[in-house]
């Protein structure tokens, strides 16, 4: 996928759009967006939305997921993986697993995107939009606001920090 600045949903979002599919494919199951990013705050909120984009440019939402940076811990024993890639990260979401984000440090975020079943037609593309909010669906708790307020996130774009999208296709 390449960065698609023209399709951004605002200054708080960035989009990546795949090349057109050469044949129809069926997305069947969970999707994971692995994002390497740094932040200026001790908390982050990342929202990942997956869309089906037609050749005319019309887009249709397929599924989405979100992750608070402090709850990014992954239990690999309970996660689904295949071929060395995480298909469905398991986040404990417990206070004991919470860890503040280190401002300025590149951090890995495995965003669990809800499973879906959708056939993407040949010629269509997949678009991933990363944003920092999804109001009114995901409203931060009042005690989270001070850590989130004013945060600037930078997506890492180096070979050492390989952000990726893992999509399970029906075979």
Q: Where are the domains of the chain?
A: 2-169
- The pLDDT score that the predictor gives to residue 43 is 92
Distances (CA, A) of 77 to 72, 81, 83, 96, 148: 15, 10, 15, 17, 30
Kindly compute the dihedral angle of the four CA atoms of residues 142, 113, 32, 96, in this order, to the nearest 10 degrees. 40
pLDDT in tens, the chain (171 residues): 544 544 546 667 899 999 999 999 999 999 999 999 999 999 999 999 999 999 999 999 999 999 999 999 999 999 998 888 888 999 998 878 889 999 999 999 999 999 999 999 999 999 999 998 877 677 777 787 888 888 899 999 889 999 999 998 887
- The pLDDT score that the predictor gives to residue 102 is 97
Q: Distance (Å, rounded) from C-alpha 8 to C-alpha 130? A: 9
- The pLDDT score that the predictor gives to residue 149 is 85
8-state DSSP, 85? E
Take residue 21 and report the two structure tokens written for it.
Answer: 């599919």
Q: Are 63 and 115 in contact (CB under 8 A)?
A: yes
- The pLDDT score that the predictor gives to residue 9 is 60
Q: Distance (Å, rounded) from C-alpha 111 to C-alpha 102? A: 18
Name the superfamily (CATH) of residues 2-169: Galactose-binding domain-like (2.60.120.260)
Which pTM does this prediction carry? 0.88
Biggest CA–CA distance in the chain, Å, is 48
- The pLDDT score that the predictor gives to residue 10 is 62
- The pLDDT score that the predictor gives to residue 5 is 47
- Work out the number of other CB atoms within 10 angstroms of the CB of residue 171: 6
Q: Distance (Å, rounded) from C-alpha 146 to C-alpha 144? A: 6
């Amino acid at each position: 996928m390449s960065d698609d600045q023209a399709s951004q949903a605002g200054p708080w979002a960035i989009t990546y759009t795949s090349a057109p599919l050469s044949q129809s494919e069926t997305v069947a199951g969970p999707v994971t967006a692995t994002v390497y990013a740094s932040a200026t705050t001790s908390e982050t909120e990342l929202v990942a939305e997956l869309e089906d984009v037609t050749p005319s440019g019309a887009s249709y939402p397929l599924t989405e997921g979100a992750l608070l940076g402090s709850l990014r811990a992954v239990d690999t024993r309970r996660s689904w993986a295949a071929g060395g890639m995480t298909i469905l990260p398991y986040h404990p979401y417990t206070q004991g697993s919470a860890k503040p984000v280190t401002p300025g440090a590149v951090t890995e975020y495995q965003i669990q995107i809800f499973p879906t079943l959708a056939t993407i037609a040949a010629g269509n593309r997949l678009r991933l939009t990363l944003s920092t909010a999804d109001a009114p669906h995901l409203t931060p708790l009042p005690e989270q606001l001070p850590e989130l307020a004013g945060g600037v996130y930078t997506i890492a774009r180096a070979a050492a920090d390989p952000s990726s999208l893992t999509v399970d296709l029906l075979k």
